[in-house]
Amino acid sequence: MYSYWPDLPTLPEDSERKEVCYFIEPMNTYFVRVIFEKKTGRWRPQKFKDETVVRSPFGSTFDRAMLHTTIDGPELDER
């Protein structure tokens, strides 16, 4: 079983966007960066393996965007 946890110190915000990173427990090379675009009201999570984006959906709500990020379950080497 794995879970992602927010890294609260990674909460940069400016006039255009807010973002936070989520890291997996136990730690591996995957993480999710979630960006809220203030101008459009759109949520954009980006799932990474190291520096490579493996998923990058959009959603009108945080829950919907995260659903599309995680709907296929963990990557084969993520567990």
**Amino acid identity for residue 67 in this structure:** L
pLDDT tens digit sequence for 8-28: 877 888 999 999 998 887 788
Q: pLDDT tens for residues 35-55?
A: 999 999 999 999 999 999 999
- Going from the C-alpha of 78 to that of each of 28, 36, 38, 47, the distances in angstroms are 7, 25, 31, 11
d(CA 79, CA 69): 16
Q: Quick check: 76 pLDDT over 90?
A: no
Q: Could you give the CA distance from residue 29 to residue 34 in angstroms, rounded to a whole number? A: 17
- Say what the pLDDT of residue 7 is: 86
pLDDT of residue 1: 52
> Are 3 and 11 a contacting pair, CB within 8 Å?
no
Per the model's pLDDT, the better-predicted residue between 73 and 63 turns out to be 63
Q: Give me the residue spans of the domains in the chain.
A: 3-70
